[in-house]
Amino acid sequence: MAYKKHPRHVTQEQFADNTTVDGDRIDSAMESFERHTNEVPQGDVQTKWTPTVFVAGWIPQQKTSTSIHHWPWLATPNVSDWVMAGSTIPTNFNNFERVKGYEIPGVNPLNPSAPLASQFVWTTSFHISRPSIITNIDVMLHTDMVGAATRQYTNSFTYSTPPPQGYASGQESEDFSFSLHVDAPTATENRMLNEVEVIRSQFVVGESKVTYKPWPGGSTDMSPTGFPGGPPAGVWEPVEAEIPLHQNSRVRLSLVIPPAISSAALAYGSSWGTKPWYDQHFTTVIHMLEEVV
């Protein structure tokens, strides 16, 4: 038979055959029942959820800009080469690695003597005040449509010459990764203690390419008439998940792109170019169910 809560969950008074029923016991039971009704415990109510969506994105400046920077992308390892000029260099770093699980073919991520050969990571974080469940993670790398009048974002996500060992020139690359991780409750700034919930790494990026069909001829467009790069295209990597998050957790989504390779001989040839943050713009979407109290 189905489980049924015991009456003692509401009151300690029990009324049954062959027991006395007097006014004091009835009053005590009614008082308990009144208290329970006025403040129903959370366990007595079916849990309800409301959908919540976190959207973040970053569009790089044009390559022709005279003020070139890589922010918000930072080198994956913390090394003294990236300390601002004139600042005091720490004797050691609390987190030598900013994120876990980002190794890619052809690159040694633990090479502190060559920071420009390090990969780059962009991390966004958000705070969860109530117990929640992450159901989907969408990561998109937008490029311009092939054949458009002006193409600012042109990454083909392929290896060039020479490719990493075990790969061929022109082969679709496996040099992009992302992960979702949760800070340790008692040491939120210690990355070594982060709980990694999702890692998507060393996958064929080109298998998730998407394009959007242009508007047919004669259709009414907005003003200005159209973006010179044409309808957006690129990569969409969807991940279905069922990740429970504890109350007051801090969640981080980290995207890791290949290093800025000035010479293919230093690592491998890549369509990401010498400024890997410039050849696409980025969008992340996290779908979550938040508990309603």
For residue 205, count CB atoms less than 10 angstroms from its CB and return exposed for 0-12, middle for 13-18, buried for 19 or more.
buried
Domain check: are 21 and 109 in the same one? no
Domain check: are 107 and 222 in the same one? yes
Of 89, 209, 52, nearest in space to 142 by CA: 209
What's the distance, CA 232 to chain centroid? Answer: 21
- Residue 3, token pair as written in the block: 């489980």
Would you say residue 53 lies in a domain? yes
Domain check: are 247 and 107 in the same one? yes
pLDDT at 1: 39
One-letter-per-residue 3-state SS of 191-235: HHHCEEEEEECCCCHHHHEECCCCCCCCCCCCCCCCCCCCCCEEE
- What does the DSSP 8-state code read for residue 29? H
Count of structural domains, the chain: 2
Helix, strand, coil share of the chain (percent; to 5):
15, 30, 55
- What does the DSSP 8-state code read for residue 263? -
Would you say residue 1 lies in a domain? no
**Predicted TM-score of the model (pTM):** 0.79
Domain check: are 122 and 226 in the same one? yes
Domain check: are 27 and 146 in the same one? no
pLDDT at 115: 44
Instruction: Give CA–CA dist 181/195, Å, rounded.
Output: 5
Would you say residue 203 lies in a domain? yes
Would you say residue 142 lies in a domain? yes
Would you say residue 231 lies in a domain? yes
Would you say residue 228 lies in a domain? yes
Domain check: are 53 and 80 in the same one? yes
Query: Phi, psi at residue 96, to the nearest 5°?
Result: -65, -35
Domain check: are 137 and 157 in the same one? yes
Domain check: are 18 and 133 in the same one? no
Would you say residue 2 lies in a domain? no
Domain check: are 67 and 38 in the same one? no
Q: Which residue range(s) make up the domain with 182? A: 47-292
Would you say residue 110 lies in a domain? yes
Q: Are 7 and 16 in contact (CB under 8 A)?
A: no
Domain check: are 182 and 214 in the same one? yes
Domain check: are 28 and 173 in the same one? no
Domain check: are 25 and 157 in the same one? no
pLDDT at 112: 46
pLDDT at 182: 94
Instruction: Give CA–CA dist 72/255, Å, rounded.
Output: 11
Average pLDDT along the chain, 293 residues, taken 10 residues at a time: 56 73 79 80 75 92 72 81 72 80 79 61 92 95 85 90 90 94 87 89 90 69 68 90 92 92 72 88 94 78
Residue carrying the six token digits 């800025």: 260
Instruction: Give CA–CA dist 98/76, Å, rounded.
Output: 6
